[in-house]
Amino acid sequence: MNAYTEVQNHLVRSHPLERQLAEYRRDNERVLKLGTKLGANAWYHFGIIDFDGVIDELEKAVALPGAVPEVDPQARQLLAALRDVNPTLKALTRYQTTREFKEDGYKFAREQHPILVPKVEAAAKAMDAYGTALFERELARDVRRAALLPEDAPARRFLATSLALRRAVQRFEAL
């Protein structure tokens, strides 16, 4: 479980995919349509980094002995989504370093755009499902812990407050 949590921490720190995809769309919509017709100031901006490190961490976590039935299916789905999008991300990152990048009117980027966006959306959805599964498991664990503590224990009251706050945050985010 700790390995899964480490993967989640890495994802949260390094790959805010929904925000990155929104920025990608905002920054590139006109450039992808018009290419170099926008003039010398036009610039295709690709800000989504590859998932090599996360894939390695997640592969190791999935391969560890012991099952986490609440999280394992989402971890496998996330791993498949990241493996699917990673080659496209790498190709676009590599393309940005070539001379053709500025000279060909972002041709390769325009070709990859309809491939990239659905793959990133699928990866973002899988990341969300994975994070939700981890969160739900943690809540269930803390509910069990609270039930084992004496009714008047300060730790139980603290845990109950923490659970109530986390559930409130979860409901707020669902809006």
Radius of gyration of the chain (CA): 21
pLDDT of res. 133:
93
Two structure tokens written together for 77: 């789905």
- Residues of the chain with pLDDT below 70 are 34-44
pLDDT digits (tens, 9 = 90+) for 66-103: 889 999 999 999 999 999 999 999 999 898 888 888 78
In angstroms, the CA 25 to CA 29 distance is 5
Find the length of the chain.
175
How many angstroms from the chain centroid is the CA of residue 38?
Answer: 32
In angstroms, the CA 171 to CA 98 distance is 46
Helix, strand, or coil here: 50?
A: coil
How many angstroms from the chain centroid is the CA of residue 4?
Answer: 13
